[in-house]
Structure 1
Amino acid sequence: MQKKISNILFSTRLTAILFVVFAVAMGVGTFLDAGMDTSPTPYSRNLIYNTWWFEAIMVFFVINFVGNIFRYRLHKKEKWATLVLHLSFILILVGAFVTRYISYEGVMAIREGETENKFLSQKTYLIAYIDGDYEIDGVPQRLPIEKEVDFSPRMKNNFEVHTDYNNQPVSIVLEDYIGGAEEDIIPDESGEEYLKIVESGGAGPHNHFLKSGEVQSLHNVLFALNKPTKGAVNITKDGDNLTIESPFEGEYMTMATGATGKLEKDSIQPLILRSRYIIGGMQMVFPKPVTKGVFGIVKKSELLQGDENGLILNVTANGETKKVGLLGGQYKNNAFKQVKIGGLDFAFRYGAQILELPFDIKLNDFIAERYPGTEKSYSSYASEVTVFDKEKGDFDYRIYMNNILDHGGYKFFQSNFDPDEKGTILSVNHDFWGTWITYIGYILLYIGMIAILIAKGTRFGDLRRQLNKIKTKKAKLLSLVFFCFALQTFSQEQHEGDHQAPTPEQIDSILVANKTPKAHADKFGRLVIQDLSGRMMPMNTYASELVRKIHHDETYAGLSPNQILLSISESPLLWYNVPIIYMKPMQTDSLKSILGIPKEQKYATIVDFFDDNLNYKLNPYLEDAYKAQSPNGYQKEIKLADQRASILSNAIEGLTLKIFPVPDDENNKWISPLEYRKENYREKISDSLYGNFINSGFSAY
């Protein structure tokens, strides 16, 4: 038995520790992704979310929840609420694993009038095909390599593949990862001469490299370097100088100085570097002179937007090693890079997988709406599509921000669009089972949390029964107290002059004996309340302000503000006799005379403010005190005493405990239990102390 208890305690402690580790890990992951465009990033995924230990914690949670069902026999009818709560956590965690290992997502680009059934995966892959002189039954054999990768410039990236093709060893090793990369000419005397042209098209700037002695077509315009060609834009290198001869009229602007000039047709002119040229309807820049070198992957300038990343691979086959540079990244579908190494043909690509839908989608029209008076500020955009499905039939649909296309287990969200507004980019998500398992888990979690508060067989049910017992005992004790008070009152009527009111010590002893435990009162203090001015605050802030205003101190009889407020709510009639209203010494002698209390008495009760006929003793003095524009010290004390008595009276009545929000109220109004009990929230309770006093039922006492 002792061993069983020890095992349970160890399991409980381990679970608590893992919960803390789990929460801290997610907090650290959120901190690591701060300021990033997306979350989680490859950095946080590799360090936390995709690690074996993080997933092992979740597996342990599932095992622990399942074990608890049997250990504590939660399948019994009286423990159904706790069972539902455990099942909800199990389903939420299982749903997360299904989403992680089975589901997938990506993006789908469609131009207007075109039909598409392929999309790019959200995950990134390094894909390689190896071909050689190897056949089986006359069929050439290809070795495919496809590995999911998740690189980040913020960490040390590792990637290795060791295999063989027809018993020929092959290895692919990552040498470097470059975030925000481009392909450029790296100076090398053994290389050839190239002129770099940065052309700005509709999809943004992209690079072209014009080789010396060759002619190249850029968007149907011919360009030639050191090879004069009729009808082409001829660029010639003469020593360190470059000249240009264009068959088109054009213009240029020097980017550093802003100076402009015209490009004369069929005229040889100096080519000005780092200037924007407009030739044949194209905009381009020649950023640097003709360079002798070889192609390589380099870091892109920080001034330019780097939308691609680079990989430098060391590829070895049959003892020969070459460096291979690749451009790509998330949602990239670049062409394969062909290279021959060690007698084998390699094709490499770094980017997304191409996934296929079981149906087709045609973009009929893309609609972008702008804010009035703007050119590029969009208020909304939508895609009018037609779904072609041989099994379920064809239909039209409009996809926009809050209108998702859900078909065949796939969900399509409006994500982005092409700059010319002639094409759409849809986000694709395939997570049917993961979504439903998680949704069911959250539904059960909601049901379980509600049920655990009201069901009999739960911990809350046990606490509720214990509290009811305590309340019953308190009610009996208070009944006895009030019975004693009634006897004293009866004795006063029968024997005038023999009456003795309950002493402050007697009142305090009752309060202390029936006080709410401080730990429980502190939990009560975390509730949210709306004060009379409409301000939202925690209950403990309200209680502290109330006690300090009335009592001029933080505590009374050793009770904290939270304990005092709970005691007032539980035993309101008793608090009419509690001497808690602070009276300033010396300066309040006249006020004490009005109230009929000794001059040396420091605190007054609510009862002290009324005479035997329940008339409010301060009434004759209040009008002058509140009308005076410059009240004297005596009038200030009258007003202060009235305010303290009113605050305490409102608290006793429960008018200030505004803890229930009124549904759909325009002013976000919250109400007290007393207001709630009044049908249709009838007229507000009178602010006068006398009205509160009469409504309290004190006169019956």
Structure 2
Amino acid sequence: MERIAQEFFSMRMMVVALFVFLVSIGLATFAETVYDTQTARLLIYDAPWFMILLLYLCAGMIANIFKYRMFRAEKIAILTFHLAFIVMIIGAAVTRFYGFDGLMQIREGATSDFMFSSDPYLLVEVFDEEDRTPWERKQLMSEAVDPSFEVEIPLKKANGQIKQNVVLECVDYKKNMIDSLVTRKDIKETALGFAISSTQPEFVSEGSVLMLGQLPLSYEMENPAPGIHVWKEGNKFKMKSSIGLRSLAMTELRAIRESGEAPADSLYDVVYPDSVITLEMAKLYNVQGQQFVLKEIKKNTGRVLMKSPIKDAAPDYLFVRLRSKGKVSEVYKIPGGFKRKAEGYQQRVKFAGLNFVIGYGSKRIPLPFKIKCEDFRLERYESSSQPSSYESDLVIMDSIGPGNVKRIKKNLFMNNVVDYAGYRVFQSAYDEDEKGTILSVNYDWWGTNISYLGYLLMGLGMVLALIAPAGRTRELIRKIKKLEEKRSKLSTIAILIAMSVGLSATAQNDSVQGDQVVVEEGHEGHNHDGHDHSGHVHTVDSTSSAEMQPPAPTQPPKQGKMYIMSEEHSNELASLLVHSDVHKRHMPLHTLCEQLLRKIHRGNTYKGYNAVQVIMGMHMNQNFWAYEKVIYVSSKGDLRKKLGVETYASYLDLFDEKTGRFKLEKELNKAFQKREVDRNEEEKQLIKLAEKHEIYINILSPDWTYMRILPKVDEDGVERWTTILNFKPDSEEFKVALDYFGALNLAVMGKGGYGLASDKLEKLKSYQREKSKQDLPSETVVDIEIAYNKMEIVKRAYQAYGLIGFVLLICFLFGLLSKNGKAPRWVRITELVCFWAAVLTTLYFAAGLVFRALISGHVPWSDGYEALLFISLVTVVIGLVLWRVSKVILAAACILAFFLLFVSSLNILDPEITKLQPVLKSYWLKIHVAIITGSYAPLGIGAMLGFVNLILYIARNESNKERLGLTIKQITYITEIVITIGVIMLTIGTFLGGVWANESWGRYWAWDPKETWALVAILAYGILLHLRFIPGVKDNFTFNAVSLWGYSTILFTFFGVNFYLVGLHSYANGEGLAEFPTWLSLVGAGFYLFTEIASFRNQMHKSKGGAIPSVYFIRKLSILCSLIVGVAIMMMIFKISPVATIMQNAGIILALIIVTTGIQYILGGRKGDQNQTVEIID
């Protein structure tokens, strides 16, 4: 039994459990994207098996504390770390079973003492004339899970005795459905159209209700509510009203109105309450001042539930029926759903002599105190509709005795929490009319604080792991020093051997007769023709004065002449302030022009002219630019062929003269009708082309849409920046602007110099700052922004880092593979030059980020684009700091920075500077984002070092095996250290994000895809760092291969979640699961083949030139195939994708594994066992 227990809690089993855990939560994010949050919770997060798995992991960690005797002083860091996770699991359990949260919606001046739950409930109230019994149950529903269930609902007497039992049976569930009126041949129903408040009829179908103000009009209902009821008898429609009404024929009404008189009361026919009359067309009915006319009768028309094209835009529907005393009711449609108020979707029915009120959605949770909203305020960014901040003035009222009410005033705003009586209240949102506040309320004192204790222990344990004298990090540092000493001795021996061989060869050469050429020592193989001078920068002005002149027109004469301002004046004009409605801020004209030109042309120059020259030329000379081919057309699809253009198109190329609209409008409308995930590449590019065309129209428009250069105070007293044409011709603003543009026009046309224009421009700039009351960027900040634009830090940095990184890698390999194992002098000089080049590039790049921070007013890691730049900077800084440890670290860092910056330049992420969302205005942005994104740098360096080591495994042979073996070990130790640092930062950053979330909206962990994939990455690297405890996978090669592949979890956390999944951090606009790029699959296959080649070479080396034993191939196939099949089965169970698609993709991957393994077996395998050397991670 003891042996079974030891195996059950062994490190191998724990790693398997961790792998199952990380795969499960990773697949849960896909389930949430494909379906919804409830599906992910039903299948995984709230499933019983998932809780059992967590309990097993918790028990396993406790068992391993005793197994590995972690309570010893030298293992206090590891003990603290493991205890932290145990405490966090306990905290999560307390939150799960005892905590709750919800939302409060309070109008200004109103008071509320309840909140709506964040979880959906099935709420039923059953009553008769004597007794009433409420019943409720939390009910998560999903289209991916069988919706059928039965519950017994009792009607109880006042003494608690059951009076009658009714069974409620759920037969179906439909999500995000619109109750639409549909006309179809197979529909046997008839719909009635009533003209109520307009001539357009409003339809009511059989079994439904139409509201006439506050009075319901029901049609063909079994148990209609009090009001007006309509039904069909034969070929006529009958009507009965519980309230008296009047009627008048429309023909009489028209005749009276034509005479100019009002109809007399005596002309109306009076219908008494509960009287049955025939409902007639062309007759006006009046009830309680509400008039209606039966205008249309539609046959074959009824209400049908149809899926909404917009995700989560419509209610969910439960289909239930009731059973009691042998009777079965009809099926009732109950609207509601996740985060919808159940009381707003209640269905009232009668069955078996009882009355039922059935609802599905959020329920009311009473609070032990009241909250009054005295005032709500919304602040916006200047000249913008974007919220900058919003806050509520609240009064908490708590009864502390008869007639004694405690009143506490609180000011609540984003990232500022109000705590009271164990509840935490957060500013969450606001009503659309801005006259009410929406608060998030959380009750989870114990769960939160236990989890915080776990976070504290985790941080403490990780710090101890780094500084503890007996810790793994210090141990690895000592081993690296020993390996360096061994390598030095090995290099010395190699040099002595080389010298002895050289002396022997010299003696022999002295005795040789002939015309042999003696090569000077130290210059063997030195090829002067093969030098690479690509790193030199030659500044040559190759543009002649003739070429700088405006090019001659190549278009038909009607195009007109091209007029462009001088470059000198464009530099003066660049600092003119303009307001961008898109980016919600004031910016120099230089920035706006570069953004517009890049958007339409994919470059910041055109024919040698800068962006200010080009964009202002377009504004001032529309006729010429309408013919100029400046709009970039993608080569993807057949867009160029359809338009009859090459790389660029003119405005007129995209203009249909017949319709006066966009030439490919039909195709564009079809593309817009599809969801993002269903559009092909040509349709996506067509939408982008239409956007460029729209921007170009606005540039060429006579109202100068983008030139919002003048402040104007609206009638509501708010200052907004607008164009010159929004001012009267005799206004001061109009004259100041017109004076400048008039002088500029004369100068551009050659009718005078630019002196007058420059003077008028200075007056316009001064006028902007004098008249505006807003907080404008200072002249220094404007100059900094223009300098930042011209620096092009991303383009120049990734070019420099790419060159430096690959040169350093080549130098490293050259020195390592040289005969004596010591790099030649020219290699050492090149490495030193690369080091200082990296320092200068990093200083330049860091200065650019500082400039960006000064411009934006916030830290330069506040969005996806800035985070990518920050990761690149941290990566290279780490490489520079560890330069003396190993030159290859800087090579790996520069290469990784090159790839990251190259990706950032592909316009995948928006590079524009924007204002922060209110929730991001927190000091946690500086702490959490800096730590978690900074962690991607050391983890990325670890992946690159693993890649380098795999190259060394391929390059290793009998002649260099000892030298390369030491280098592989040294790099492996370094990799483990940087990965350990990265995991510590990643873990701390992730859970600090939980603290921020708890301080902002009251949930420290909500299984959002971003935080979930951060946890996936932590678990993946946690498994990597525990491989050394597992027999069979604790060799150096496995560690390096997993180091490389482990970074894929980081890449998916950063890119995949943002663009492929749906969540709080997603850019997928609510749809997610965009088309997976083919090129990415090919890259993955390429890395897999590279890993297999390295694995094969490693196995050949371990077999000492003999055959690789068959057991290796069998074990490898069984492990890899089991992983693929296991993940595929889990995807099928969780219904992530159609079964056929999962099987197809799994089949392709399995085929690739089997083919590559088979080729390796043919090349180096045979039956039998061979003695192998194993490089163990020690």
The secondary structure found in structure 1 opposite 2:71 is: coil
Deviation at 1:350? 1.9
In the alignment, is residue 449 of structure 1 matched against residue 444 of structure 2? Answer: no
Residues 131 and 344 in structure 1, CA contact (< 8 A), matched pair in contact too: yes
Equivalent position to 1:430, from 439, 443, 451:
443
The secondary structure found in structure 2 opposite 1:101 is: helix
Deviation at 1:406? 3.0
Tell me the equivalent position of 1:387: 396
Structure 2 residue ranges without an equivalent (≥5) = 156-161, 218-226, 231-237, 268-280, 282-287, 499-509, 511-519, 525-792, 852-872, 885-1178
Change (3 A) 1:358 1:479: farther
Distance 1:328 1:378 in 2: 30
Distance 2:252 2:106 in 1: 39
Deviation at 1:171? 1.4
Residues 310 and 325 in structure 1, CA contact (< 8 A), matched pair in contact too: yes
Corresponding letter in the other structure for 2:317: G
Corresponding letter in the other structure for 2:353: G
Change (3 A) 1:113 1:420: same
Alignment of 1:33-432 (within 5 A): 33-34=32-33, 41-131=37-127, 142-162=132-152, 166=162, 168-181=164-177, 218=213, 289=296, 298-299=305-306, 307-323=314-330, 324-329=332-337, 330-334=339-343, 336-370=346-380, 377-390=386-399, 393-432=406-445
Residues 126 and 148 in structure 1, CA contact (< 8 A), matched pair in contact too: yes
Distance 1:117 1:543 in 2: 63
Q: CA RMSD in A?
A: 6.0
Q: What is the aligned length?
A: 515
Distance 2:118 2:3 in 1: 48
Corresponding letter in the other structure for 1:7: Q
Tell me the equivalent position of 1:439: 452
Distance 2:521 2:292 in 1: 97
Deviation at 1:70? 1.6
The secondary structure found in structure 2 opposite 1:420 is: coil
Distance 1:111 1:461 in 2: 60
Deviation at 1:176? 2.2
In the alignment, is residue 545 of structure 1 matched against residue 812 of structure 2? Answer: no
The secondary structure found in structure 1 opposite 2:850 is: coil
Q: TM-score if structure 2 supplies the norm length? A: 0.36
Query: Over residues 478-525 of structure 1, what are the superposed CA-to-partner deviations in whole Å (9 max), with x where a residue is unaligned?
Result: 89999999xxxxxxxxxxx9xxx99999xxxxxxxxxxxxxxxxxxxx
Tell me the equivalent position of 1:20: 19
The secondary structure found in structure 2 opposite 1:327 is: strand
Distance 1:281 1:451 in 2: 78
Equivalent position to 1:666, from 847, 850, 865:
850
Distance 2:86 2:311 in 1: 48
Distance 2:244 2:387 in 1: 41
Change (3 A) 1:303 1:106: closer
Deviation at 1:14? 1.6
Tell me the equivalent position of 2:479: 466
Distance 1:441 1:310 in 2: 41
Tell me the equivalent position of 2:902: none
Distance 1:294 1:18 in 2: 56
Distance 1:265 1:211 in 2: 36
Deviation at 1:99? 2.1
Corresponding letter in the other structure for 1:440: L
Distance 2:391 2:261 in 1: 45
Residues 125 and 356 in structure 2, CA contact (< 8 A), matched pair in contact too: yes
Distance 2:883 2:13 in 1: 48
In the alignment, is residue 11 of structure 1 matched against residue 10 of structure 2? Answer: yes
Q: Which moved more, 1:164-173 or 1:660-669?
A: 660-669
Query: Over residues 16-44 of structure 1, what are the superposed CA-to-partner deviations in whole Å (9 max), with x where a residue is unaligned?
Result: 112111111122121223378xxx61122
Distance 2:447 2:252 in 1: 61
The secondary structure found in structure 2 opposite 1:81 is: helix
Distance 1:221 1:245 in 2: 25
Query: Over residues 43-91 of structure 1, what are the superposed CA-to-partner deviations in whole Å (9 max), with x where a residue is unaligned?
Result: 2212222212222211111111111112222122221100110011112
Change (3 A) 1:235 1:104: farther
Deviation at 1:363? 0.6
Change (3 A) 1:673 1:110: closer
Distance 2:180 2:149 in 1: 24
Larger helix proportion, structure 1 or 2?
A: 2
Residues 204 and 210 in structure 2, CA contact (< 8 A), matched pair in contact too: no
Change (3 A) 1:466 1:102: same
Residues 206 and 302 in structure 2, CA contact (< 8 A), matched pair in contact too: no
Query: Over residues 160-200 of structure 1, what are the superposed CA-to-partner deviations in whole Å (9 max), with x where a residue is unaligned?
Result: 11466647553111122233457799999999996567989
The secondary structure found in structure 2 opposite 1:331 is: strand
Residues 189 and 206 in structure 2, CA contact (< 8 A), matched pair in contact too: no
Distance 2:835 2:386 in 1: 57
Query: Over residues 283-308 of structure 1, what are the superposed CA-to-partner deviations in whole Å (9 max), with x where a residue is unaligned?
Result: x9999835799998845876999543
Residues 532 and 656 in structure 1, CA contact (< 8 A), matched pair in contact too: no
Change (3 A) 1:663 1:466: farther
Tell me the equivalent position of 1:516: none
The secondary structure found in structure 2 opposite 1:173 is: strand
Structure label with greater radius of gyration: 1
Change (3 A) 1:558 1:481: closer
Distance 1:34 1:557 in 2: 48
Deviation at 1:393? 4.9
Change (3 A) 1:92 1:333: same
Residues 205 and 302 in structure 2, CA contact (< 8 A), matched pair in contact too: no
Corresponding letter in the other structure for 2:336: G
Change (3 A) 1:544 1:167: same
Distance 1:438 1:287 in 2: 63
Structure 1 residue ranges without an equivalent (≥5) = 134-139, 201-206, 250-262, 274-279, 486-496, 506-529, 568-574, 580-604, 607-643, 677-701
The secondary structure found in structure 2 opposite 1:19 is: helix
Change (3 A) 1:342 1:665: closer
Change (3 A) 1:652 1:122: closer
Deviation at 1:113? 0.9
Deviation at 1:558? 3.5
Change (3 A) 1:289 1:367: farther
Residues 111 and 372 in structure 2, CA contact (< 8 A), matched pair in contact too: yes
Change (3 A) 1:675 1:402: same
Change (3 A) 1:113 1:310: same
Deviation at 1:147? 1.4
